[in-house]
Every structure is written in structure tokens, then in C-alpha cells.
Amino acid sequence: GCNYGLPLSSPVSTRKEAGGQRISVCVRKRPLTYAENRRGEADVVTAHDGDSVVVHESKEAVDLTQYILQHRFNYDEVFGEESSNVDVYLKTAFPLIQHVLNGGKATCFAYGQTGAGKTHTMLGCPPQRQGLYALAARDIFTQLHSTQDCGNSTVPSHVYVYVSFFEIYCGQLYDLLDCRKRLFAREDGHQVVQIAGLREVKVESVNSLLEVILWGTGERTQGVSGVNPVSSRSHALLQIQLRDSGNRATGKMSFVDLAGSERAADSRDPDRLSRMEGAEINQSLLALKECIRSLDQEQSHTPFRQSKLTQVLKDSFVGDSKTCMIANVSPSHLATKHTLNTLRYADRVKELGGGGGRRRPTVTPSPSPKHDQTSSSGTSASRG
């Protein structure tokens, strides 16, 4: 495993932590894959200075000459293709873990088009390359064990870890830890959304948590038959729930591997089912954006009822909950349109937050062609 040896008692301070922000929006660019390199696809995305990203969009003028538009966006963090899951973890989910151990709620979303790296980030390729699920679980167990040993922390002395894993497909819930059993979410008398019958598995180590996750992931891909893997059309929600000895919920960390964002644009798909799926995904991603924004602005009204996704995450959009969004993008010139859509979405999530210092996206024509489909745009795909 990877040993980055950072004590949880001195959490990495990030810019937004210092400013007390509750949402952070980050971008992760993956490297060109081996196959993309072989096909000669160009890398048109450049990560700069840890917080900005530039997309070099190839355009054709009326006289058929080619020119390049440079789109620059700024976020809380931008991870280039050389960054590892551990690098991403330390600046995204890690700052949320202490909040969860103190009884709070936090959510980490992976957003982006199919193939952009959402599952690579969240799940990784365990056990060799762990993703955010395992890295977070490891820190939760380490911290619980160390505080339970020396008893000098704010974490209650007996805290138990439970995991649930379900997916939302076409607005319906399926339990990935219970043979894809259909589940129903309801608001109880205290306006708390409950998922009746959701299976929660008690886990006592990172390895047993990983086993549970891998089991659920297997359920995920077997799902409904069809041309496209169901995983690109559904949202997967992994929740790590902490409970005290009285079985009271104390803190909750949710990870959401969202449906492929390109599916939200499938409104003209000739296939009726695809259109329906696309409309549902579109609705949930719009609602998600609004709910995160309202959390950031401490609005009294959160439109969480607008989709099943936001409804089941209701408790993550209220109170002192914290949220992190990781927008994943592909570097390939063939994905430029979807990459720009993803970056614009992530930008809108942040739009009203972050105070007056926010830098707006810019578009500038490039004086000389940045890429001609054969250059590597000055960024070599290094795999760490």
C-alpha cells in the first residue's frame, strides 16, 4: 500500500479550509491512455499552477482556416495527469474526514463524462492502487483506533463503522449490497429522508470495507443488460456511517460516483430509454448543482426534492455539512466539447461561492496554433 505518513492530528491546510469554505471544487485531468496515444489523439488540456486549467479548442473560421481558442478556468485545486490518487485524496476527501470524525457530514462527488476517470479516482484498482474510498477508510480506522487507544480526543471512545452502497438508476434506488434490491426513500415526520431497508454492513477494518465495496461494484456492472455499461448511466453512492455504542449516527462520509455527464445531453437520442435516462441524469445534475450552491450560500431553501439523488443526500446539503466536487476531464481533443461542459458545470457550482476574489473564466484566441493533432501540446502523459 501507499504510505504517505501524514498524522491526522495535523490536517493538511488548504486554501478553502483557511477561508472556512464548506464547498470545494477541484478538477482532475487524466493522462491520455495508451490507446489514445496510439491513435494520435492530441492532449488539449493543460493544468497550471495547481489551480487553473486551460483548454485549447480547435476552431474553423469561415474561410476554413484553423484557429485555437484558449479557455481558462480557475478552481480550488487542479490536478494534472501526473497526480496520483493519494495527491487528489489529500486535498479533497482528507480535509473532510476530521469533520466526519467529529460527528459531521461530508460528501465527495466525482463528476465528468464517461471515461474521464471518476471510478479511477473513487475506486482505483484495489488492492494495488487504492482510490478515495479506501484511502478515506484507512484514515477513519487509523484515527478511531488511535483515539480509542489513548482516549484523548473529541471522537467518542466507541464508534463503529458501517457501510452502505447503492445506486440510483432512472430515479430508482438499488441496493448493491443486497442483490440490487429495489429501495424506497421517504421523508419521516422530522423531515429526515430515510431509505427503508437499506443494508448497512458493519466493518472492522479497511480490508473488510474493501471487500464489501468490491462485492457491491460487481453487482453494479452486472445490472441491466444493454449496449452501454449501466455504470455510466447510474449514480453510485457509497456511505460510511459512524455510530456510537447506542447505535446513534455520529458522522457520515458519502462518496458519489456520478453518472456520465455526457448522458445529460442525450435528449435527441433515437432510443426512448436512452432519452429517459438522459432526462433523468440531466435533472439530477442540475438539482445537484443548485443544492451545493445553496449549501455554500447558507440558503434557507434547498431544492433537494428535485431529484432522487439530491433527495437521498438531503442531510448533506444542510447544517454544517461539507462538500467537495472533483470534476474529471479527459485530455483528448476528441473530448473537447464534453471537457468544456464539465469545466463550465464545475465553474457554475462555485459561481456564487468563494467571495469576491473569484476569477472568472476567460476565452482568448491563440496567436499560433497550439496543436496540430500530432503535437503533445507541451504536456507529456506521465503515469505515476
Residues contributing to the annotated binding site for ATP? 112-119
Length of the chain in residues, anyone?
384
Sign for the pseudo-dihedral over CA of 259, 41, 81, 141: positive
Q: Does 261 bind Mg ion (CB under 5 A)?
A: no
User: Cα 277–283–286 angle (5° rounding)?
Assistant: 135
Q: Does 58 bind ligand ADP (CB under 6 A)?
A: no
Q: Which is nearer to Mg ion, 10 or 225 (CB)?
A: 225
Q: How many residues bind Mg ion (CB under 5 A)?
A: 2
Measured from the CB of residue 346, what is the shortest distance to ligand ADP in angstroms?
Answer: 14
Question: Which residue has cell 461542459?
Answer: 341
The residue ranges of DSSP E strands in 152-214, in sequence order, are 159-169, 172-175, 181-187, 193-196, 201-203
The dihedrals phi and psi of 56, each to the nearest 5 degrees, come to -100, 100
Q: Which is nearer to ligand ADP, 328 or 339 (CB)?
A: 328
33 alpha-carbon distance from chain centroid = 21
Indicate which of ligand ADP, Mg ion, none lies near residue 112 (CB less than 5 to 8 Å, by partner kind). ligand ADP
Q: Helices in the chain by DSSP H: which ranges? A: 15-18, 34-38, 85-91, 94-101, 118-122, 132-150, 206-222, 272-296, 308-312, 336-350
Q: How many residues bind ligand ADP (CB under 6 A)?
A: 13
Contact 200, 241 (CB under 8 A): yes
List the interface residues with ligand ADP, window 92-131 (CB under 6 A). Answer: 112, 114-120
19: cell is 477561508
CA proximity to 182, closest of 166, 202, 164, 200: 166
Q: Does 307 bind Mg ion (CB under 5 A)?
A: no
Q: Does 33 bind ligand ADP (CB under 6 A)?
A: yes
Residue nearest to ligand ADP (CB): 117
Encoded one letter per residue, x for contact with ligand ADP by CB under 6 A and - for no contact, window 305-334 reads -----------------------x------
The stretch among 50-58, 112-120, 208-216, 370-378 that binds Mg ion (CB under 5 A) is: 112-120
Q: Does 119 bind Mg ion (CB under 5 A)?
A: yes
Indicate which of ligand ADP, Mg ion, none lies near residue 342 (CB less than 5 to 8 Å, by partner kind). none
Q: Report the interface residues with ligand ADP, using CB under 6 A.
A: 30-31, 33, 112, 114-120, 328, 383
Where along the sequence are the contacts to Mg ion (CB under 5 A)?
A: 118-119
